[in-house]
A and B are shown apart, each in its own frame.
Chain A
Amino acid sequence: AQSVTQPDIHITVSEGASLELRCNYSYGATPYLFWYVQSPGQGLQLLLKYFSGDTLVQGIKGFEAEFKRSQSSFNLRKPSVHWSDAAEYFCAVGSDTGRRALTFGSGTRLQVQP
């Protein structure tokens, strides 16, 4: 069964600093990988996705993620964090077999200090 681990429950960074959120997945085949962001009181919004091809994917709001098959990782990065990036971030792995669901990690809450 597929699974996703986000090892960091809570991260605090200073505004302007770089950011890396970790995500490790377990999946038998080539995974479909996603990062979603949830702002307080809101639903989830897609930041970026990886299906195949170039292992470095660009997303919205200046985010990028790198797929590393050897490490089963899909870490999210941003070179310079803005206060508006404070939110909860979810990594997810998708399956196009069976019931076609996204399996989500438990999330990482990002706090941005002025």
Chain B
Amino acid sequence: EAQVTQNPRYLITVTGKKLTVTCSQNMNHEYMSWYRQDPGLGLRQIYYSMNVEVTDKGDVPEGYKVSRKEKRNFPLILESPSPNQTSLYFCASSAQLAFTGELFFGEGSRLTVL
């Protein structure tokens, strides 16, 4: 089954404790992206990647890092989480580099930073 898998789905952590949210897709997609969803703000892009070893900033990259060492994986790293990073995070992938294609979303990871 074609899917985007995120882990963990739920996480409560404390300020400053490094964490990683993993994202894996089994569709051989080149394009992957991370979004955060906050009430009243919709989804905002954090980082994206057009291919292995090619990543770039989205609208709200501060406080986040990503890496793309393999095509299927695109982890989101919070080196020193802060309460304003409490949010619902979505990983997404797409087959097409031109923006005519569908974005496939994971089920989301709800992060709470105390």
Q: Closest Cβ of chain B: how far from A87's Cβ, in Å?
A: 14
Instruction: Count residues of A near B (Cβ-Cβ below 8 Å).
Output: 24
Q: Is A58 an interface residue (CB 8 A)?
A: no
A14 vs B4: C-alpha distance when bound (angstroms): 34
Q: Report yes or no: A101 in contact with B107, Cβ–Cβ below 8 A.
A: no
Q: Report yes or no: A43 in contact with B107, Cβ–Cβ below 8 A.
A: yes
A61 vs B58: C-alpha distance when bound (angstroms): 31
Q: Report yes or no: B43 in contact with A99, Cβ–Cβ below 8 A.
A: no
Tell me what chain A mostly uses at the interface: helix, strand, loop, or mixed. loop
Contacts of A104 in B (CB 8 A): 35, 42-44
A32 vs B92: C-alpha distance when bound (angstroms): 17
Q: Is B56 an interface residue (CB 8 A)?
A: yes
Q: Pull 9 A–B residue pairs with CB atoms less than 8 Å apart, ordered by A.
A: A9-B40, A32-B100, A46-B103, A51-B100, A100-B48, A101-B45, A104-B35, A106-B41, A107-B42
A binding-site residues for B, Cβ under 8 Å: 4, 9, 32, 36, 41-46, 49, 51, 90, 94-96, 99-102, 104-107
